[in-house]
Structure 1
Amino acid sequence: MLHTADLPLSQKQIASIVEATARINLWHGSIRSGKTIASLFALLAAIAAAPRGGLILITGRTLDTIGRNIMEPLTDRALFGALARLVDWTPGAKTAVILGRVVHLIGANDRRAEGKIRGATVALVYCDEVSLLPKDFFRQLLGRLSVKGAKLLGTTNPDNPGHWLKKEFIDRAGELDLRDWHFTLDDNPGLDPGYVASLKKEYVGLWYRRFIQGAWVQSEGAVYENFDTARHVVKSLPRIDRWLCDGIDYGTVNPFADVLLGLGADRRLYVVSEYRHDSRLARRQLTDAEYSRARRTWLSKVPHPHSPARGVAPEWTVVDPSASSFIEQLHRDGVTGVTQADNTVSDGIRTVASLLGSVDLLIHESATGLIDELPGYSWDDTASEAGEDQPIKQNDHSCDALRYAVRTTESLWRPYIPTRLEAAA
């Protein structure tokens, strides 16, 4: 069995490295399955042999994700030994030098990214998380691979089976100059068996089928099918060591929902309290100034568990990014730590689902709006049939507020919660 500096490579990984000779080469499957390490060895081999006269590109959603998923591993001597010394890269830079070749790093998080590569002649491109790239950008990349011997290498976790990457490329491998390799969690020989067992227990339903079994399956039914009031709703709270944020889904005609997220002394996340205003039920719409005042009043009355103290000042106030006027009102009222929410729906849902699966996210019984919404929060069948994962946009306001809060503050709470929640490849 071939080894990296510290980790073994499986026969499947070795075969994929050796056989990555097609115009399009794709590694897909579960998280932590070893597909990324295999693809990076293939990338180094491809750079060494890349034809002259064309650019070498590494693409991903953002420069940050490229750095975290690709460049940091490539410069890790524990993984790549002496080869890591031949990778010259500065975090945040748009170029790197790998094996003596200049490599351009390109973030592609929306359709406008297509313009970044127009007119380019490309000899080699590596795509991180292909299914998350804009379709037009991916097609433009393929059109730019015009140098003789040029090729594309890419990795991805599974998505909806109607996704364009699955339907138009992987399913047509026999018709195209394309090779693909499917990996499951059990294909990675470098993982601790206890870690593997924990991951298999923590992911359920859709996320288990995609991220453990590596299957391209359709989203259907409840979004949080592992939510159980008996497991996830609590009557008492531990001491809260950090008041991380309040997450706000803004509404005027629709309900306004604000959930307070804290990190407990037991190293779990807690929805400690919730404020909601439903203008239809109250028969009165509130202005931005009134919502801001109501928020301050609510937070001033939140009790501290196991303490006589009352009143909370969250580190961050995470707001629905579309609520620009309310964000401005909060600034006017002197609220510090106001930030726009990370509204990446699928990533946010997956993070919340993983926390529920590991019972690292609990909800106080006073958050009745959220507790009422969670069981009925469901996937949109029409969107699923079109190859997209989207929840039904009804009775989802507290669910959205929770997703905003959890996802946007992930860098704050992740160091305190076991790394089993990582969903890297």
Structure 2
Amino acid sequence: METTELRLSDKQERSIAHSTAWLNVWEGSVRSGKTIASLLRWLMYVVTAPRGGQLVVVGKTYDTVARNVFGPLQDPSIVGPVVAKLVSYTRGASVAWVLGRQVEVITANDAKAEARLRGLTGAGAYVDEMTLLPKEFFKRLIDRMSVPGALIFGTTNPDNPGHWLKKEWLNRADELGIRTWHFTLDDNPVLSAEYVARMKAAFTGLWYRRYILGHWVQSEGAIYEMFDAARHVVDELPAMTRWPCDAIDYGTVNPFADLLIGLGSDQRLYVASEYRHDSRTARRQMTDAEYSAARRDWLQAQGVRPDFTVVDPSAASFIEQLHRDNTPGVVPAENTVLDGIRTVASLFAADRLRIHRSCAGLIDELPGYSWDDEAAEKGEDKPIKQDDHSCDALRYGVRTTEALWRPHIPMMLEVAA
């Protein structure tokens, strides 16, 4: 395999040289160099892997596999021009070719994913973002690596210390014959000091401890502990260069919350206005048609037509009502809860998200928006489902329209393994 000018740290080189166990795991902070080391080791393994079985690459979705695995493997600056040409993969395909070997691509996005392993006789596997896989899927994958000499290589960012991967596998590494390597941001020799400083500034609290320090720590306390009303709540708005969306958390008995989000000329996102109806307080429930009309009047009064209307994906009837009313740009919200929370937290930490003082419901909810301690004890990161309606609308809007605003917001970085 052709060598490149890619610089590797001593830790990366040691992990490549000594990853000879049946299961080898690179874990730690984002952008720490663990993925590059593991992929180079995977390439070496593909050349020598036993025949008579299938090689597989596993990830949460086809998009994450394409981005995290095959993107680097097809990058000449990482693997060299000759090797890059010998890696063939099309995004969304179930088969790839790596150095002349056929490789199955298997996704594990839900509990039904386990069925995709049926009939597999594994000769080796590369697993991307291990903590995101279903527990039973991972166990079945291990069971399927039945060809003598089959090895598994995988990466993960830290999660809750009660996560099944940490409790049942990594904590028992010596007992089970597993090799693990822990990486931090400072272990990556190719990152500039400026980039590292920006990364460290972009995270705070739980996300800093996990994604920068690489610690497996439990979620507890306030979710947006970096939120400071004196800093993030404003009385005046700058000129807006774009209105990415209004974002809706739907409720009939519970409050209905709609937030108008704009991109300011000062390169910040602003929650500029809030429409909120609490049927308990008002002592009157509203129909889907009434909510649609109220939303339309609210936006017209401000002279704003947002690019998208982002709606709670569970509100099927209300989405249908909006379509009947010819509302443009209606989309179901991206509802990956932790990704949405992390994005909002990073914006608050970098002072790139501010809220107009008129948004009373959101401002009231933010300080009390907290992690569920009972869920955390079970290894799960979940917010307490109470007084969270505007907070949900906020993460819906920010996360779903990220492709629109991210290029215009400084100090916001792509978070990759």
Residue 381 of structure 1 aligns with an amino acid whose one-letter code is: D
Cα displacement (A) at 1:4: 6.8
Q: Which moved more, 1:123-132 or 1:228-237?
A: 228-237
Cα displacement (A) at 1:115: 0.6
TM norm structure 1: 0.95
Match in the other structure for 1:26: 25
Cα displacement (A) at 1:400: 0.3
Does 2:311 align with 1:319?
yes
Q: Secondary structure at the match of 1:291?
A: helix
Match in the other structure for 1:361: 353
d(CA) in 1 for partners of 2:291, 2:321: 9
Describe how 1:331-342 pairs up with structure 2 within 5 A.
331-342=323-334
Match in the other structure for 2:277: 277
Match in the other structure for 1:421: 413
Residue 344 of structure 2 aligns with an amino acid whose one-letter code is: V
Contact preservation (8 Å) 1:355, 1:421: no
Describe how 1:25-424 pairs up with structure 2 within 5 A.
25-81=24-80, 82-302=82-302, 311-418=303-410, 420-424=412-416
Match in the other structure for 1:308: none
Q: Secondary structure at the match of 1:299?
A: helix
d(CA) in 2 for partners of 1:234, 1:79: 45
Residue 66 of structure 2 aligns with an amino acid whose one-letter code is: G
Cα displacement (A) at 1:298: 0.6
TM norm structure 2: 0.97
1:386-419 Cα distance to aligned partner (Å, 9 max, x none): 0000010000000000011011111221222246
1:88-139 Cα distance to aligned partner (Å, 9 max, x none): 1222322111100111112211001111111211111111100011111111
Contact preservation (8 Å) 1:59, 1:125: yes
Q: 1:369 to 1:9 in 2, by over 3 A?
A: same
Residue 12 of structure 1 aligns with an amino acid whose one-letter code is: K
d(CA) in 2 for partners of 1:4, 1:273: 55
Residue 32 of structure 2 aligns with an amino acid whose one-letter code is: S
Identical columns (%): 64
d(CA) in 2 for partners of 1:419, 1:237: 21
Q: Secondary structure at the match of 1:372?
A: helix
Q: 1:215 to 1:136 in 2, by over 3 A?
A: same
Aligned residues between the structures: 415
Q: 1:4 to 1:216 in 2, by over 3 A?
A: farther
Match in the other structure for 2:6: 7
Q: Secondary structure at the match of 1:173?
A: helix
d(CA) in 2 for partners of 1:165, 1:31: 18
1:292-336 Cα distance to aligned partner (Å, 9 max, x none): 11100111112xxxxxxxx11111111111111101111111012
Q: Secondary structure at the match of 2:326?
A: coil
Cα displacement (A) at 1:191: 0.5
d(CA) in 2 for partners of 1:80, 1:364: 49
1:340-395 Cα distance to aligned partner (Å, 9 max, x none): 11111111111111111111111111111111100100000000000000010000
* Structure 1 gap ranges (5+): 303-310
d(CA) in 1 for partners of 2:112, 2:3: 38
Cα displacement (A) at 1:55: 1.1
d(CA) in 2 for partners of 1:103, 1:413: 37
Cα displacement (A) at 1:268: 1.6
Contact preservation (8 Å) 2:292, 2:321: yes
Q: Secondary structure at the match of 2:115?
A: helix
Residue 49 of structure 2 aligns with an amino acid whose one-letter code is: A
Q: 1:419 to 1:107 in 2, by over 3 A?
A: farther
Residue 424 of structure 1 aligns with an amino acid whose one-letter code is: A
Q: 1:361 to 1:5 in 2, by over 3 A?
A: farther
d(CA) in 1 for partners of 2:49, 2:272: 55
Residue 58 of structure 1 aligns with an amino acid whose one-letter code is: V
Cα displacement (A) at 1:157: 0.6
d(CA) in 2 for partners of 1:89, 1:376: 46
d(CA) in 2 for partners of 1:290, 1:195: 49
Residue 211 of structure 1 aligns with an amino acid whose one-letter code is: Y
Residue 60 of structure 2 aligns with an amino acid whose one-letter code is: R
Residue 313 of structure 2 aligns with an amino acid whose one-letter code is: P
Cα displacement (A) at 1:59: 1.2
Match in the other structure for 1:305: none
Contact preservation (8 Å) 1:317, 1:337: yes
d(CA) in 2 for partners of 1:117, 1:267: 46
Q: Which moved more, 1:235-244 or 1:9-18?
A: 235-244
Contact preservation (8 Å) 2:249, 2:257: yes
Q: 1:165 to 1:201 in 2, by over 3 A?
A: same
Contact preservation (8 Å) 1:4, 1:79: no
Root mean square deviation of aligned Cα: 1.3
Q: Which moved more, 1:258-267 or 1:128-137?
A: 258-267
Cα displacement (A) at 1:201: 2.4
